[in-house]
Amino acid sequence: MHLFSTLYEAKLLKRYKRFLADVIFKNGEKKTVYCPNPGSMLGLAEKNTKIWLEKSNNKNSKYDFIWRLVENNGGKLICIDTQMANKVIHEHLLKKKIPELKKYDEIISEPKINDGSRLDFLLKSNDENSCFIEVKSSTLSRLPKISEFPDTITLRGSKHLTLLKNLKNDGFRAIQIYLIQRSDTNCFKIAKDIDREYFESFQIAKKSGVEILVLQSLISNDGIELSQKRLLVL
């Protein structure tokens, strides 16, 4: 489990400039906090939303708190920190807690590809074909029980899928992981209406043999664990 330090409850006043948010604490104190999410955060950044913050340990930051979680009207927690997905996957790879990947012995973070691009992980083993992995964080859910990605146009995401497709064609194992950073959904789809190019890149990569692995987070105020459940791709 990836553990949080103490979390502090607040209400969202507004999110702006992508990486900033104004909040009000239960004692009435107002602060500007860091928002670690470059996406649209569709449906998660409404005024008066209940949120949870963690104190920053970055001494160079202007902001004392980092926004970690949203609590929706049903009381379910959603992790809005996109970098948390990589941290959680890395921790579970190290502990061999992802059954599909437990045979690999070496983990290389941010491996450089021949054209200078990078993916999130390269896994190696004497007995297994080397495996390239890209991780994406999914928080979007517009219909009950359905998670989606992306929540905004992502040219970078389309590029990553093309890289995975090319690596698969070169004989490597290639996996696109979507980490669902909420626990109130049970299936997943690409948001074609938001980014048609990404949808088409996804279809091409999948047909080329890129593996799609949709994992789900179990989120509490203590931290984030991976569920063993695999979400159905629609």
Measure the CA dihedral 166/167/170/174, to 10°: -120
pTM comes to: 0.93
Question: What digits encode the pLDDT tens for the residues 34-84?
Answer: 999 998 999 999 999 999 999 988 878 899 999 999 999 889 999 999 999
Confidence band of 116 (pLDDT split at 50, 70, 90)? confident
Question: Is 80 exceeded by the pLDDT of residue 115?
Answer: no
8 Å CB contact between 85 and 136: yes
Q: Give the closest residue to 35 by CA, choosing from 73, 81, 76.
A: 81
Instruction: In whole angstroms, give the CA distance from residue 98 to residue 120.
Output: 16
pLDDT value at residue 114: 79
Question: What digits encode the pLDDT tens for the residues 3-38?
Answer: 898 999 999 999 999 899 999 999 999 999 999 999
pLDDT value at residue 128: 87
Between the alpha carbon of residue 229 and those of residues 125, 187, 219, the distances in Å are 25, 10, 14
pLDDT value at residue 131: 97
Domains of the chain: 2-79 (2.40.50.580), 82-233 (3.40.1350.60)
pLDDT value at residue 176: 98
Instruction: In whole angstroms, give the CA distance from residue 230 to residue 218.
Output: 12
pLDDT value at residue 109: 96
What percent of the chain shows pLDDT beyond 90? 88
Q: How far apart are the first and last CA of the chain?
A: 28
Q: Give the closest residue to 191 by CA, choosing from 226, 120, 139.
A: 139
Buried b (16+ CB within 10 A) or exposed e, 7-34: bbebebbebeeeeebebeeeeeeebbbb
Confidence band of 2 (pLDDT split at 50, 70, 90)? confident
Residue type, 33: V
pLDDT value at residue 1: 78
pLDDT value at residue 233: 95
3-state DSSP call for residue 165? helix
pLDDT value at residue 59: 79
Q: Check residue 170 and give left, alpha or beta (phi > 0: left; psi -120 to 50: alpha).
A: alpha
pLDDT value at residue 141: 96
